[in-house]
Amino acid sequence: MSENKGFNEVSIGEIVAADFRAAEIFKNAGIDFCCGGKKSLDNACKEKSIDTSVVVKQLKELENVPVNQN
């Protein structure tokens, strides 16, 4: 994901495209990242009454974990 764009400035589909592991975070939160992938993270979280900052924290934690290439 581009360094100059925050998680709230890109669609959830773009977030998953940049790091497939984000799909699990969205799945656990009940956020549709496929058909609803054009929504912003903020809008998707509001629709599910989820604190956006909690999801952003989980997404940022992915940045510190190397992708398993198995």
* pLDDT-based confidence at residue 6 (cuts at 50, 70, 90): confident
Are the CB atoms for 34 and 67 separated by under 8 Å?
no
| Per-residue pLDDT, 29 | 95
pLDDT band, very low/low/confident/very high, at 5 (cuts 50, 70, 90): low
What confidence score (pLDDT) does residue 9 get? 81
Q: What is the pLDDT of residue 63?
A: 87
> How do residues 15-70 score in pLDDT, each as one tens digit?
999 999 999 999 999 999 988 889 999 999 999 999 999 999 999 999 888 877 55
